[in-house]
Amino acid sequence: MTAVIQTKNLSKWYGNVLGLSDVSLEVEQGVTGLLGPNGAGKSTFLKLITGQIKPSIGHVAIQGQDVWNNYPLFGRIGFCPEQDAFYDEMTGWEFMTSLLSLYSFSRADVQSRAEKALDFVELAKDKDRLIRGYSRGMRQRLKLAQAVAHDPEIIILDEPLNGLDPLSKRKVIRLIKDYKEAGKTVIVSSHVLPEIEALTRTIILLHQGKILARGDIHYIRDLIDKHPHMISVKCSDPRRLASSLVGEPSVLNIQFGPAPDTVVFETQDRDKFFGLIPRLIVDHRIDVEEITSPDDNLQAVFDYLVGK
Amino acid sequence: MVISEQGYVHWQGTFIERRFPWWPITRLGIRLAFKRKFFKFVFSISLLPAVMFSTGVYISERLDDFQFMLKGQDRLLEVNPAFFKSYFTSEPLLFLMVMIMVLAGAGLICDDLKYNSLQLYFSRPLRKRDYVLGKMATVFFFLLILTLVPGLLFVLLKLIFAGSFKFLANYPWIPVSVIAFSLLVTLFFAFYTLLVSSLSKNRRYVSILLFLVYIFSNVFFGIFYSIFHNPYFCLLSIQCDIQQVGAAFFRQSPHYDVPWIYSFLVLAAICCLSAFVLKRKIRGVEVVK
């Protein structure tokens, strides 16, 4: 398959701060997940491949063409930034049409594309409302709409699921999958592994400006599964729950605290553990307030991968 | 192994670049300005000097009918280069131009910085120079309505009311001066507005700064001039610099005994400073965490 995006020895410094170091890779058609903790260099990488900032060393090419200062090429890219980028005093419709008019579309085309994109992200009925009154999910979908309204071949989404409620997340995930099925190239960045897992199996792991791993997400999953997991349960009777799991071979360690109603389990088989928990809760009639995984985040995976 | 649903298809179309890529930026700036509180009111008020001077052109051709009002002050209504200089360098007009910039120009770049819009613009087929041009054109749109349009209108009205081309025969260079000075003063104010607008993300601060720099440059000149009685302090005042250059463009003696070229250089230096700051401020948002 042809590589759509190619980077070679791509590096970027901000003064003395290293943003990205010696990144050489090829991105093919489909959805590619860009994973990394905050400050890993994801946004820098996305700004470099969208031609917004100039590489310090190396180069980026899209479909064989250098990106930097190649303005006509930008018409084929759709970019959804991480931060909000709206004029609050504009309506969704004004926002969409003003951005679409930067392309060489006719007035009628601008309007039909704006309508189509707003319809696509289910904002058509709210298009005449001021953006100031939009919810977080609506703003995120509007950002997505502006990225796809001109029907780009390459869509770059920087943390598109950040801060969304579960329902909005499902909608955005469905939209991204629709684009994948339409044969587009989509790069999605996130620092939350399960979000990327819901979208694609092809991932690039960035850490401290360097590529730590890339390939199939199952490879990373295996690494995670070998790594003991901490699972914290806040409930009405933590000692009773702990006693029921003492004999379970997958549980390696049990600790109480830091809060009096919290118990922390260490397990090597997270899936099995999560399979057991609901039954025990029902059997022992324990009221559960919260189940969290203190180390189920990318930083923990990275720490594990880099041997910290 | 990833199974792709559809192979990659190369784009077959041809990309047509907009002839005026800056125009959507300008149009948005104009549209947003008219949404601001008080803008329509101030903009209407700022047209009053032009209406008054147009009336003056009419009266100048009907002096006999208006003698009861003029009482021997006919000279004031004579349409000549001094008339044009009076309009273009009048303090009320310059003040109203600053007010227009405060209301319509303050947010031009500052709002884009505040709302992170630069990344949306520069991920599209839009060059930085087109972006700046679009922002400048917004200021041009409003200020040329107050300078170039009335200036040419005065010439036209004079010809219509006089019913002859004698005025143009006497002063053939006037239309050129009107166009050149309108463009110069508008260009200066456009650079000045964009410079101040790019210094902060807060529109209120920018508005205050736009206003205060203009006013205080005049105040400082007044203070220094009254202490040292040196006319060269007029170079500190934006208003005086414009008036000095205006006098030269309309072949009138300058108000202060200072070569007009010095004032022109001061205005040019502010434009250069603005271009330098804009080049540094308007670029892709770099992420440092």
In this prediction, residues B76-80 reach a mean pLDDT of 77
Interface confidence, given as ipTM, is 0.78
In this prediction, residues B160-186 reach a mean pLDDT of 92
B186 confidence band (pLDDT: 50, 70, 90)? very high
> What pLDDT, on the 0 to 100 scale, is given for residue A279?
86
Q: Say if CB A19 and CB B289 are below 8 A apart.
A: no
Rounded to whole angstroms, how far apart are CA atoms B104 and A99?
20
In this prediction, residues B222-244 reach a mean pLDDT of 93
Task: Count Cβ atoms within 10 A of the Cβ of residue A23 and give its class: 0-12 exposed, 13-18 middle, 19 or more buried.
Answer: buried
In this prediction, residues B190-196 reach a mean pLDDT of 97
Rounded to whole angstroms, how far apart are CA atoms B184 and B289?
43
pLDDT score of B4 more than 50: no
Contacts of B127 in chain A (CB under 8 A): 71
pLDDT score of B14 more than 60: no
Q: Which residue in the block uniquely carries the two structure tokens 């401290």?
A: A208
Residue A37 contacts B, CB cutoff 8 Å: no
CB atoms B8 and A28 under 8 Å? yes
Q: What is the pTM of this model?
A: 0.79
Contacts of A75 in chain B (CB under 8 A): 15, 124-125
CB atoms B286 and A53 under 8 Å? yes
Rounded to whole angstroms, how far apart are CA atoms B243 and B262?
12
> What pLDDT, on the 0 to 100 scale, is given for residue B154?
94
> What pLDDT, on the 0 to 100 scale, is given for residue B76?
63
Which of B28, B116, B287 has the CB atom closest to A47's CB atom? B287
Q: Say if CB B275 and CB A4 are below 8 A apart.
A: no
Domain parsing of chain B, residue ranges: 23-281
B7 confidence band (pLDDT: 50, 70, 90)? very low
pLDDT score of A225 more than 80: no
Smallest CA–CA distance, residue B26 to chain A, in Å, is 10
Which of A14, A30, A71 has the CB atom closest to B4's CB atom? A30
Q: Looking at per-residue confidence, does A219 or B134 come out higher? A: B134
Residue A81 contacts B, CB cutoff 8 Å: yes
Rounded to whole angstroms, how far apart are CA atoms A17 and B260?
48
> What pLDDT, on the 0 to 100 scale, is given for residue B289?
43
List the structure tokens of B251.
Answer: 């072949």
In this prediction, residues A243-266 reach a mean pLDDT of 87
CB atoms B123 and A51 under 8 Å? yes
pLDDT score of B10 more than 70: no
pLDDT score of B113 more than 80: yes
Model pLDDT for residues A146-184, shown as the tens digit of each residue: 999 998 989 999 988 886 777 878 888 888 888 888 888
Model pLDDT for residues A208-222, shown as the tens digit of each residue: 888 888 888 767 666
B236 confidence band (pLDDT: 50, 70, 90)? very high
Rounded to whole angstroms, how far apart are CA atoms A103 and B16?
9
* Cis upstream peptide for A152 (omega within 30°): no
CB atoms B18 and A146 under 8 Å? no
Closest-approach residue (CA) in chain A for B21: A102
- Say which range, A111-120, A202-211, B37-46, has the weakest mean pLDDT: A202-211
Closest-approach residue (CA) in chain B for A39: B289
In this prediction, residues B270-278 reach a mean pLDDT of 96
> What pLDDT, on the 0 to 100 scale, is given for residue B8?
44
Model pLDDT for residues A98-150, shown as the tens digit of each residue: 999 998 888 899 999 999 999 988 899 999 999 999 988 888 889 989 999 99
> What pLDDT, on the 0 to 100 scale, is given for residue A19?
86
pLDDT score of A302 more than 70: no
Q: Say if CB A132 and CB A87 are below 8 A apart.
A: no
> What pLDDT, on the 0 to 100 scale, is given for residue B61?
80
A1 confidence band (pLDDT: 50, 70, 90)? low
Residue A212 contacts B, CB cutoff 8 Å: no
In this prediction, residues B98-118 reach a mean pLDDT of 93
